[in-house]
Structure 1
């Protein structure tokens, strides 16, 4: 008798469909995001979101380093490592500032009227946001590396959100210096590239029913992480 964990999984197309079906649970549909894209948030609400979201931005390369530390596949590591460079950045020159996602988010914060100091020291970060971010990093460190890769597949839905957000900021929040919106522009290119690679990895490695279920569960967990963050921000600044 075939063990439950050895049952063959569904065809790759069906697995991809199951993963993409999580679009309905992505935080783009959260009431706070809907108000943001409708242009109804106050400057204090925008600043609160930016300051809290930084805790997540700062954790992304740590999460990716955890995936690398557990991944035995050199080909995957060679491609995955660029995610860390995308967020941590590389120096413009020997003594210059790093230019990556973290720096771009700090410039967004400054464009919104926040100081670097108050963003970097996390004084505005809500407990629920901190808990969710820590849970995500712990997941990447402790779960099988393919599941951690699957959890990153919220990037499948990110380009649409980024495009809507960028348009909303340019249209409604004109008090923000538009040079501070470069993070959103960068992710319009990076997110599709990264999600394509992650999807390739998950489809290639998740062949059994149990492995496919675990991948879908990992993506569901990540959707919960992002939604929990938005709940905490909404509660604090609504």
Structure 2
């Protein structure tokens, strides 16, 4: 094995360990969510609880993906050095880096996702869970991509994490949950941030996947007779 390959492998080991630790943290958070939102049921009040749960998952759980930023910085140092030596191209590095993370992100999306999904009693059906996990998986890949881009610009650990957290915070604020899209100020927040923020698409996907077709007891329901069906069109 060449010295270059040994360096690359050595730099990838800490990142894998970070992802393994992240898995345990995600599992712990999933059990925490399952405890707070256990068996939401179909009462009228569960609508708000479901929305809060999905918002927390799509915003704060994906937010934790910035924890891998220090390993990105170390990988960038190796990449720049090996790129100058002509060992591999930029496209090769990006593709390899992305695919090397996908199995870990998939596991993180499935295991904690299943705990939070089934114990809280979200919409039944494996296809709904698959959609739920796919959205979380795609969001985490996107966050990692953003952090990789930041690592190429800001080589400092602390400044990079601050920048990544700030960007995600702005996207979450402009994603259409904290303020409805029509209520967002048009300069910057509505155009272009609302359409750039991945939270917009994560919120819409999770909410449509969860609420479309569900029936809830209205406030006046006694014995579960009158029901309200959520609108299928979003």
Output the TM-score relative to the length of structure 2. 0.31
Q: Pick the structure with more helix per residue.
A: 1
Larger Rg: 2
Output the TM-score relative to the length of structure 1. 0.31
Higher relative contact order (CA 8 A, sep 6+): 1
